[in-house]
Amino acid sequence: MMRFLDDAPRYLFFTGKGGVGKTSIACASAIRLAEAGRRVLLVSTDPASNVDQVFGVSIGNRVTPVADVPGLSALEIDPQAAAEAYRDKIVGPVKGVLPDTVVAGIEEQLSGACTTEIAAFDEFTELLTGSDLVKGFDHVVFDTAPTGHTIRLLQLPGAWSGFLEKGQGDASCLGPLAGLEKQKERYRAAVDALASPDATRLVLVARAQSGSLDEVARTHDELAEIGLQRQYLVVNGRMPEAETRGDDLARGILERERAALEAMAPVLQALPRDDIELKPFNLVGLDRLRQLFGTPESATAAVPGDDMAGEDTAQLEAPSLSELVDDIATDGKGLVMLMGKGGVGKTTLAAAVAVSLARRGFPVHLTTSDPAAHLSETLSDEVENLTVSRIDPTVETERYREQVLQSKGKDMNEEDRALLEEDLRSPCTEEIAVFQAFSRVIREAGRKFVVMDTAPTGHTLLLLDATGAYHREIVRQMGDTGTHYTTPMMQLQDPQRTKMLLVTLAETTPVLEARDLQEDLRRAGIEPWAWVVNNSIAAAGAASGLLRDRARAERPQIRAVAEEHAARYAVVPLLRDEPVGAERLLALTEITASQATA
């Protein structure tokens, strides 16, 4: 039995980074509870939800019984549709009343992830506050939980509806809160239910990887701060030790996982924890979901209708990262930005690209906001032609907050200042602060290569462009004087000066998230130059039966990248040893699929 299901309360929330398996675990948990005789409602608020695919039942925004599991029903809240309705409700009344530039700024305020999250929260607060929809259910299982930032915002009192109009918000998430004054009581009741350990349990889902564990440690702290103390940790996808016999790749994965778990934050080590072994199949269909919490023997049993049957088992042949770097090098200079969701390896790949360009004799500046400072220390000493800088997001964000509080917040009353301070705790704030720091290095790309990790989202770039300032003000001041000028935004939009690389994994959720990020960037006038599929087992080759099955499951995702999403792409194989240090990083851009296991 999974400990996180012992004596389960009415509400269970599953949260974690994209691709860690939280939807599969939420679905398997709902099945387990229902088959124990409980009445269960599974609710998904994940923008990349595939609950209907997992169950093989069309669900949508209505309570739908899962016919093959008596007692189980499911409901999918469409966050994008909820956000669109939310935007229409707020923007509609001011169109034609406020200037177009002001309306454009409000619309961009409402286009980011915070709007989607708050709109989804608005939908499921009804489920936490005695809605008729949940009457008769013993358990309500949520995939995914809201962030602590969202909950704190909804806890705040004050004139939300007037805050944005008075121009006191900065590049923020307060836009989504406009007009919510009437619903504060319902939100307060929902937050109380979330904070009650008798009513709610939060399950943090991670992989045994340092980036994934760091993320759930931050989530733990953020949610514990606002009262969600009853938390459990589930480490998903552990490599079974039995699979490592005779397979160096599997052994290397196991060793990496053990090292990551030993080094995880003390707050996580103190939590009740369950480990779930990596399965050889995709978790689609009831038979497979029932095996997720099973023994290794039952989990490797054959499943009827194997959707991987017939897939090629030969090692994948695909464009390599070295081919992309060859194309980048032909320009002799320029900005190379690597973007992607957390945990896909973009920092490592940024360093690999920088090392490869430097080894070819080009002057290169690698700048990163990754907290892993040891990477920059290693590279700065060992690679000729390469300079490395590390932007500390905490320092830059604090500097930005102080700047805004001293300017916009100087004459505010206590209530409005509290709103502004919470606004400045938004993830958008860190992106803007880090981008300002990155902007100081961008102009170097006119004479050398600048490789940047991590880049801001398209929403943040558009927000900077729409609400304030820099780009629009420069254009206004320069006018038609004939003087040449370039803003950071213009450089990012110029494919001759900037090459944007989207990094993903060969798994369903990371590919969907990268696709959404591409659309976000296109909205900002930025066309990604290439996609990089990282840590591919299919490109690495493996002896383990489990890994060979996982490799077959990757192929449809790689085909989707190659045929549907990317103008050009590369696949980087999963390596046995952690790619840390100049020589191992260089190997990532020199290795081809046929050499991966050499």
The yes-or-no verdict on residue 104 having pLDDT over 90 is: no
Domain co-membership, 287 together with 354? no
Higher pLDDT pick, 171 / 19: 19
3-state secondary structure of 515: helix
The domain boundary, picked from 268, 291, 314, lies at 291
Element (H, E) at 535: strand 530-536
pLDDT at 278: 92
Question: Given 275, 291, 307, which residue is the final one in a domain?
Answer: 291
* Residue 121, pLDDT above cutoff 90: no
pLDDT (0 to 100) of residue 288: 85
Q: What is the pTM of this model?
A: 0.79
> What is the average pLDDT across 371-399?
75
* Residue 100 burial by Cβ neighbours in a 10 Å radius (0-12, 13-18, 19+): exposed
Greater pLDDT, 137 or 509: 137
Query: Would you say residue 540 has pLDDT above 60?
Result: yes
Q: Greater confidence, 329 or 303?
A: 329
pLDDT of residue 377: 55
Res. 181: pLDDT tops 60: no
Given this model, what pLDDT does residue 253 score? 93
Q: How far is CA 223 from the centre of its chain?
A: 17
Same domain as 485, residue 538 = yes
Q: In this structure, is residue 275 part of a structural domain? A: no
The 11-15 sheet, strands edge to edge: 64-65, 72-76, 40-44, 139-143, 11-15, 200-207, 231-238, 273-277
pLDDT band at 509 (very low <50, low <70, confident <90, very high): confident
- 366 plus 492 within the same structural domain: yes
Please report the pLDDT score of residue 373 as a whole number.
Answer: 47
Q: Are residues 355 and 443 in the same domain?
A: yes
Q: Regarding predicted confidence, which is higher, 476 or 439?
A: 439
Distances (CA, A) of 238 to 222, 258, 295, 595: 26, 9, 13, 26
- Provide the residue count of the chain: 598
175-189, 227-241, 271-285, 528-542: which range is least confident on average?
175-189
* Residue 245 domain-assigned (yes or no): no
Positions marked active-site? 19, 21-24, 46, 509
Task: Answer for the pair 434, 427: CB distance below 8 angstroms, yes or no.
Answer: no
Same-domain status, 287 and 411: no
DSSP state of 439: H
pLDDT in tens, 417-434: 777 777 777 767 777 788
Tell me, what's the pLDDT at 598?
Answer: 38
CA–CA gap between residue 2 and residue 275 (Å, rounded): 9
Amino acid at 274: D
Residues 163 and 65 in one domain: yes
Do residues 371 and 494 both lie within one domain? yes
Average per-residue pLDDT in the chain?
80
| Same domain, residue pair 287 and 420 | no
Question: What pLDDT is stored for residue 164 in this prediction?
Answer: 45
pLDDT at 380 over 60: no
Q: Is residue 544 part of a domain?
A: yes
Q: How confident is the model at residue 386 (pLDDT cuts 50, 70, 90)?
A: very high
Q: pLDDT grade, residue 171 (50/70/90)? A: very low
276 DSSP assignment: E
The answer to whether residue 302 scores a pLDDT higher than 50 is no
Does residue 396 contact residue 431 with C-beta atoms inside 8 Å? no
Nearest to 31 by CA among 289, 245, 337: 289
Say if residues 141 and 30 touch (Cβ distance below 8 Å). Answer: yes
Does residue 327 share a domain with residue 180? no
Question: Cα 479 to the chain's mean position, in Å?
Answer: 39
Query: Which domain CATH number covers 161?
Result: 3.40.50.300
pLDDT band at 200 (very low <50, low <70, confident <90, very high): confident
Q: Which residues 6+ apart lie within 8 Å of 191 measured at CB?
A: 151, 154, 155, 226, 227
**Residue 150 pLDDT > 90:** no
Q: Quick one: which H or E segment has residue 591?
A: none
Tally of structural domains, the chain? 2
| Cβ atoms 350, 453 nearer than 8 A | yes
* Residue 309 is assigned to a structural domain of this protein: no
Q: What is the pLDDT of residue 193?
A: 82
- Alpha helices (H) along 292-413: 296-299, 321-329, 346-359, 373-382, 393-407
> Quick one: pLDDT band at residue 592, thresholds 50, 70, 90?
very low
Range of the structural domain that residue 373 is part of: 323-595
pLDDT confidence tier of residue 501, bands split at 50, 70 and 90: very high
pLDDT, average across residues 274-279: 93
- Digit-coded pLDDT (tens) for 211-233: 889 888 988 988 888 778 889 99
Helix (H, G, I), strand (E, B) or coil at 477: helix
> Residues 181, 330: one domain?
no
Side-by-side strand order, sheet with 530-536: 386-390, 364-368, 449-453, 334-339, 498-505, 530-536, 569-573
Angle between helix axes 458-467 and 100-109 (nearest 10 degrees) is 150
Dihedral pair phi/psi, residue 272, rounded to 5°: -60, 135
Burial of 385 (0-12, 13-18, 19+ CB in 10 A): middle
Asked if residue 367 is part of any domain, the answer here is yes
Q: 511 and 371, same structural domain?
A: yes
* pLDDT score at 161: 44
- Is pLDDT at 533 greater than 90 in this prediction? yes
Question: 594 vs 389, which has greater pLDDT?
Answer: 389
